[in-house]
């Protein structure tokens, strides 16, 4: 990749997925003199190792769930029995957004430990696990650009992780999102910037691995305060779609300034419109699903933008499904309700028999708008 960028005279690289960051792609590109928006391999451990992330949060007094990390299944299960349920069991390593198991009983927690550490259902990601306090409240997503010294908060968003309507079913990488998130008030934003974002940025610098890139935090908000669930070190999907739809500033210029340590010069401009995206997934996702089914009607979609997340073309030139989460149908409106209506109208214009999607994306915000 570094040689390719040299050959093509690439001026700026933005690394999207987490695995290349953990593997050190940003280190290689920066060493070759190519400006790269993305953390070093050491800094990317904020996502690559939940154990490392939690250690840094504890050390630098970032509000987060109580936890312990384990490499021995028996010790992990003993801790779960001692703390009690509900409780959360997570792979420490990368598991494509699926390595978090919410356990309502101690028996479920013990099974989760065995699944992750013994059966290794997510491979080596489960050789170490984090067992942590189950936080209650309303979840929101927080994004910030970071230049090693300071962070610049982006607009808020809210994701829908559960596979089915009513927030039921297994966790996914995200079945839809909207921005802004009404639960993320200006007061909570100030608390998050001061107590979570800046303490993390200062802590990473103190650890000798200053962070440059985007920090994407999952937050749990209750009683007017937020706690950090976890950090990711890249733009989140599907939140990124609604954020970029609302952003009016020149993104490339902003990311280049982050690489140069000049974020303090930047003020971001956002549209007042609300944005909402619906993920059209393959039937069976997040479990087993088939690839190759034909998707029609995309050229005729009106009132929304369709982001391709997992598609391919067959020999006949038709668009086909090639992943679990396949399309992001994204619309804007003066209210979340309007954006929701336009997004689902566009979903219905797409011809795809083998799809599954939630029909209630944005339900919390819509209820707030209706005073419910």
Question: Alpha carbon of 239 to those of 3, 275, 326: distances in Å?
Answer: 32, 10, 15
Residue 175 burial class via C-beta count within 10 angstroms: exposed 0-12, middle 13-18, buried 19 and up: buried
Block means of pLDDT (10 residues each) for the chain, length 372 residues? 95 94 96 96 95 96 96 96 95 84 94 95 94 93 94 93 93 92 93 97 96 95 95 92 96 95 94 97 94 96 96 97 97 98 98 97 92 80
Provide the pLDDT for residue 171.
83
One-letter-per-residue 3-state SS of 81-111: HHHCCCEEEEECCCCCCCCEEEECCHHHHHH
What span, in angstroms and rounded, lies between the C-alpha atoms of 213 and 197?
A: 13
Provide the pLDDT for residue 96.
73
The two structure tokens encoding residue 58: 């504890």
What span, in angstroms and rounded, lies between the C-alpha atoms of 354 and 297?
A: 14
Provide the pLDDT for residue 173.
86
Question: Alpha carbon of 99 to those of 76, 84, 112: distances in Å?
Answer: 16, 20, 10
Residue 26 contacts residue 15 (beta carbons within 8 Å): yes
288 contact partners, CB below 8 Å, separation of at least 6: none
DSSP state of 247: B
Provide the pLDDT for residue 170.
87
- Tell me which of 3.90.600.10, 3.90.190.20, 3.30.465.10, 3.30.450.90 is the CATH number of domain 274-369: 3.90.600.10
Provide the pLDDT for residue 324.
95
Q: Which long-range contacts (CB under 8 A, 24 or more apart) does 59-63 make?
A: 59/203, 60/199, 60/200, 60/202, 60/203, 60/206, 61/195, 61/199, 62/195, 62/196, 62/199, 62/200, 62/203, 62/228, 63/195, 63/196, 63/225, 63/226, 63/227, 63/228
Q: Which runs of consecutive H residues, i.e. helices, occur in 90-170?
A: 106-113
Provide the pLDDT for residue 95.
84
The two structure tokens encoding residue 251: 């993104």
Buried b (16+ CB within 10 A) or exposed e, 117-127: beeebbeebbe
SS3 141: strand
Domain at 66-133: CATH code: 3.30.1490.20
Listed by start position, the domains of the chain span 2-35, 66-133, 137-265, 274-369
- Is the overall model pTM greater than 0.85, yes or no? yes
Instruction: Kindly indicate whether the domain formed by 137-265 is annotated with CATH number 3.30.470.20.
Output: yes
β-bridge mates for residue 30, sequence order? none
What span, in angstroms and rounded, lies between the C-alpha atoms of 26 and 284?
A: 35
């Amino acid at each position: 990749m570094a040689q390719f960028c040299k050959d093509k005279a690439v001026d700026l690289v933005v690394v999207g997925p987490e695995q290349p960051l953990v593997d050190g792609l940003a280190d290689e590109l920066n060493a070759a003199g190519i400006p790269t928006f993305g953390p070093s391999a050491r800094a990317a451990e904020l996502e690559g190792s939940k154990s490392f992330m939690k250690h840094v949060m504890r050390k630098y007094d970032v509000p987060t769930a109580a936890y312990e990390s384990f490499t021995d299944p028996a010790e992990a299960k003993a801790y779960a029995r001692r703390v009690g349920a509900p409780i959360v069991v997570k792979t420490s390593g990368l598991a494509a957004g699926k390595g978090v198991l919410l356990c309502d009983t101690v028996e479920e927690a013990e099974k989760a430990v065995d699944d992750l550490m013994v059966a290794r259902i997510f491979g080596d990601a489960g050789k170490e696990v984090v067992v942590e306090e189950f936080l209650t409240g309303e979840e929101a997503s927080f994004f910030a650009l970071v230049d090693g010294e300071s962070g610049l908060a982006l607009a808020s968003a809210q994701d829908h992780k559960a596979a089915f309507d009513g927030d039921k079913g297994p966790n996914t990488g995200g079945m839809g999102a909207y921005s802004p998130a009404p639960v993320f008030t200006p007061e909570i934003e100030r608390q998050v910037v001061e107590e979570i974002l800046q303490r993390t940025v200062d802590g990473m610098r103190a650890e000798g691995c200053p962070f440059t890139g985007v920090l994407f935090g999952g937050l749990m908000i209750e009683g007017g305060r937020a706690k950090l669930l976890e950090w990711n070190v890249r733009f989140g999907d599907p939140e990124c779609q609604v954020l970029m739809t609302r952003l009016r500033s020149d993104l490339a210029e902003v990311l280049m300034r982050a690489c140069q340590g000049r974020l303090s010069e930047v003020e971001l401009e956002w549209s007042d419109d609300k944005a909402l995206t619906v993920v059209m997934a393959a039937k069976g996702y997040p479990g087993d699903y088939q690839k190759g089914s034909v998707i029609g009607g995309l050229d005729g979609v009106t009132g929304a933008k369709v982001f391709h997340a997992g598609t391919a073309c067959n020999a006949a030139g038709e668009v086909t499904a090639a992943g679990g989460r396949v399309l992001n149908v994204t619309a804007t409106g003066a209210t979340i309700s309007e954006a929701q209506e336009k997004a689902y109208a566009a979903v219905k214009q797409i011809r795809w028999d083998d799809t599954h999607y939630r029909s209630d994306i944005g339900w919390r915000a819509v209820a707030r708008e209706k005073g419910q």
